Amino acid sequence: MSNQSGIGVAFTGSGSAAPEAVLDNENMSRVVETSDEWIASRTGIHQRHLAAPGESLKQFAAQAAQNALNMAGISAADVDLIILATSTADDLFGSASQIQMAIGAHRAAAFDLTAACSGFVFGMVTAAQYIRTGAYQTVLLIGADVLSRWVDWGDRRTCVLFGDGAGAVVMQASSVGDRLLGFELRSDGSLSNYLTLAHEGQPRELVDDVAIGQGSYQPIQMNGQEVYRFAVRKVPEVIEKALFRANLTVEQIDWLLLHQANQRILDAVADRLALPKEKVISNMARYGNTSAASIPIALDEAVRAEHLKPGDVIASAGFGAGMSWGAAIFQWGK
Ligand code: UT7
């Protein structure tokens, strides 16, 4: 993708972290009426990591961030900007600055970005803009979610799907090329009722003629079949658009790295793009759907296992509540 400044983006480090506690499908069937057979065959999920009561989003995000900084070989003091993609901040005012403090990135500005399961891709594109304009040299992009706080643990149609975790990448200015090759971001608020974690307020009159609505957020509600159909239709489309912008063809993709929502969605998208299964990165068997964290956790594991090598072309796409969806075609490495 062209940019006028001549400054490109490089991906120099990745990291991830997840809670220690694991709930496998067998134990899940003690929480709701379900079975390992149903969950594994319909979703590909075998277990998920769940945050314990005293654990925080900040803690996993900071650990993932530190691991990414270590891989990049830089210190927290080098970070100019922290973007935290999350829908489940510890504090509704934002958790990014608490992570900034936890890792000691004293110089960095920090903010939260919410685009549900598309948050990491939206965050990557946002980070790239700051770098390409020359405003910032080093951006720490974190995707982290603790959806277990907001799942309806009595609803077997949703509670079996989600897990908790965090992933991070370091994105840095480069004068030798731009590793973010193309992207396409989309939103459609007319479909927002497919997947919600909505605030519900009860009216409270403060004085005559002035009332406010005060309440709390309601557990996740999802129309699974509609979200499934939406993902299988829209994700290949948005990847093709991003490829077009990158001036690349499907054959040039080394890895398909989708939001880890359902193995059947990954398989269906790969089929539609005519991509062989060997190119599909999947770790949802071990994590379930970790929302904004799913892409960077899977990325980090692939990098550390040395499956994914510098220069490899990755087609990544997020999709979820909003509805929001988006694709980014990028090359791993400096
Ligand atoms: O990050 C956000 C993105 N979210 C997604 O991508 C989710 C997309 N949707 C999906 O992945 C799938 O729609 C699900 C995995 C959520 C559901 O799979 P499905 O094949 O669409 O199942 P279904 O909702 O059509 O339900 C089939 C049957 C129903 O029973 P009846 O009505 O046919 O008797 C459900 O009650 O399976 C039943 N069921 C379950 N049974 C055992 C639903 N959940 C469960 C369960 N265990 N956990």
C-alpha of 1 from chain center = 23
156 within ligand 1 shell (Cβ under 6 A): yes
150 within ligand 1 shell (Cβ under 6 A): no
What contacts 24+ positions apart, CB below 8 Å, involve 309-313? 309/333, 310/334, 312/254, 312/255, 313/181, 313/248, 313/252, 313/253, 313/254, 313/255
Tokens of 116: 């549900």
Q: Exposed, middle or buried: residue 176 (CB in 10 Å: 0-12, 13-18, 19+)?
A: exposed
CB atoms within 10 A of CB 215: 11
Active site amino acids = 117, 259, 289
Q: How far is CA 26 from CA 38, 72, 133, 193, 286, in A?
A: 11, 39, 51, 31, 13
Q: What is the pLDDT along the chain (334 residues), one digit of tens a residue?
A: 446 678 999 999 999 999 999 999 999 999 999 999 999 999 999 999 999 999 999 999 999 999 999 999 999 999 999 999 999 999 999 999 999 999 999 999 999 999 999 999 999 999 999 999 999 999 999 999 999 999 999 999 999 999 999 999 999 999 999 999 999 999 999 999 999 999 999 999 999 999 999 999 999 999 999 999 999 999 999 999 999 999 999 999 999 999 999 999 999 999 999 999 999 999 999 999 999 999 999 999 999 999 999 999 999 999 999 999 999 999 999 9
Please tell me the distance from the alpha carbon of residue 267 to that of residue 283, in angstroms, as a whole number: 13
CB atoms within 10 A of CB 60: 28
Please tell me the distance from the alpha carbon of residue 163 to that of residue 112, in angstroms, as a whole number: 20
Q: How far is the CA of 150 from the centre of ligand 1 (A)?
A: 18
Q: How far is the CA of 157 from the centre of ligand 1 (A)?
A: 5
What integer pLDDT is reported at residue 49 of this predicted model?
Answer: 98
Among protein residues, the one whose CA lies closest to atom 20 of ligand 1:
42
Please tell me the distance from the alpha carbon of residue 27 to that of residue 18, in angstroms, as a whole number: 19
* Residue 193 CB partners (closer than 8 Å, separation 6+): 223
Among protein residues, the one whose CA lies closest to atom 36 of ligand 1:
157
- Residues linked to residue 330 through DSSP beta bridges, in sequence order: 180, 314
Q: How far is the CA of 160 from the centre of ligand 1 (A)?
A: 10
225 within ligand 1 shell (Cβ under 6 A): yes
The CATH class, in words, for 181-189+223-331 is alpha beta
261 within ligand 1 shell (Cβ under 6 A): yes
Relative orientation angle of helices 57-72 and 96-103, to the nearest 10 degrees: 50
Q: How far is the CA of 327 from the centre of ligand 1 (A)?
A: 25
Report which residue type is found at 169: V
What integer pLDDT is reported at residue 5 of this predicted model?
Answer: 77
Among protein residues, the one whose CA lies closest to atom 6 of ligand 1:
261
Among protein residues, the one whose CA lies closest to atom 29 of ligand 1:
157
- Residues linked to residue 135 through DSSP beta bridges, in sequence order: none
**SS3 track for 190-244:** HHHHHEECCEEEEEEEEECCEEEEEEEECCCEECHHHHHHHHHHHHHHHHHHHHH
Q: Please identify, by atom number, the ligand 1 atom nearest to the C-alpha of residue 117.
A: 1
Same fold, 8-177 and 181-189+223-331: yes
Domain residue extents for the chain = 8-177, 181-189+223-331
36 within ligand 1 shell (Cβ under 6 A): no
* Block residue for tokens 């959806």: 147
147 within ligand 1 shell (Cβ under 6 A): no
260 within ligand 1 shell (Cβ under 6 A): no
CATH superfamily membership of 8-177: Thiolase/Chalcone synthase (3.40.47.10)
Among protein residues, the one whose CA lies closest to atom 17 of ligand 1:
224
What is the model's pTM? 0.97
38 within ligand 1 shell (Cβ under 6 A): yes
Q: How far is the CA of 220 from the centre of ligand 1 (A)?
A: 14
What integer pLDDT is reported at residue 249 of this predicted model?
Answer: 98
Q: How far is the CA of 224 from the centre of ligand 1 (A)?
A: 6
Is 1 within 8 Å of 129 (Cβ atoms)?
A: no
